[in-house]
Amino acid sequence: MFLEDVILPSDAAAEALISCSPVLEDLKICLSKDDSVVALRVCSPSLKSFALRRVEPFYARGRSVVIDAPKLEYLSLMDYYHFKRFEIISKAESFKVDIDVEFELMSDYLSETKIICNLVKNFSGVKDLTISWKTLEFIYIYPIPKLHDLTRLRAAMCLNASPKLLPIVLESCPNLKHLKLELVIDSPYAVSTRLSTVLPRCLLSSLESVEMETPVTEIATELSLARYFMKNSKKLKKLVLRLDESTGEQHKPCVLERLVKYSRRCKLSQFEVLPVVPTPSPWPGYVHVKSNRF
């Protein structure tokens, strides 16, 4: 079921529409500013995948979302932040979340903190989480509860903020095993801060693999992060970096050679460098050329 630009007359109508199918497994809702739903209840004994998106630039405050789906395995929240309540009553034991929401700063700090913390508490049992930079940056302002069950994390964060933010993120995931990082350039002129000397618990007890999903930039913060992981992760087995083949002499071979030697000294079982080339618009991204495995 895919609902786009939905105009629903009441809360009961929305709930009835969702629960009318006893075999519904995949539900996607793109909310409209014109609907009359105040409390969106997603109740389905068969639902496995649910995506909630906002399609309007402005949305009235005061909405609430309640999910009661004992078989729910995947939840995606995109650009949806105007709610006073968000609660997951039931879900599957194996639960994956993809969250890309931007919270609106309020004058009432306590109210905003409560909204964000209540949202995160619903993900306390999540084992696999993907989180965007615009969501993650609120950790600067609002401390979040620890995610003790999280073992896989894919996170995007600002390149220049990553040395300061990364230890905070890792500290919130004490049992993390697999980490993928997408580092985005917010301001190319900002100066990177040094990495914290206080080591998060997952570096000492659980982290096994780290993958940088974006190529090493000219300021080479990614290389500093790579050395940080190799030096401090006691159980690290796999580290993957990416180099942009179109940058010419920007990254000299000696830098890579030093990392290779360091990886052997740290006894990594897999240190891999993926040369990539940028793809043109309208689908910008990167294509792997050939893997260099050391």
Q: Got the DSSP string for 13-74?
A: HHHHHHHT-TT--EEEEEE-TT---SEEEEE-SS--EEEEEE-SS---S-EEEEEE-TT--E
Query: What local confidence, expressed as pLDDT, does residue 154 receive?
Result: 96
pLDDT band at 195 (very low <50, low <70, confident <90, very high): confident
121-130, 161-170, 180-189, 226-235: the lowest-pLDDT one: 180-189
Which whole number is the average pLDDT over 173-180? 96
pLDDT band at 120 (very low <50, low <70, confident <90, very high): confident
Give the CB-side neighbour count of residue 180, counting CA atoms within 13 A.
10
Mean pLDDT over each residue of the chain, to the nearest integer: 79
Answer whether residue 56 shows pLDDT above 50.
yes
Q: Could you give the CA distance from residue 275 to residue 243 in angstroms, rounded to a whole number?
A: 5
| Percent of the chain clearing pLDDT 90 (strictly above) | 28
Q: Could you give the CA distance from residue 113 to residue 108 in angstroms, rounded to a whole number?
A: 9
pTM tops 0.75 = yes
CB 276 within 8 A of CB 288: yes
Structure tokens at 66: 């309640």
Answer whether residue 39 shows pLDDT above 70.
yes
CB 210 within 8 A of CB 182: no
pLDDT band at 236 (very low <50, low <70, confident <90, very high): very high
Token look-up 């002129």 returns: 189
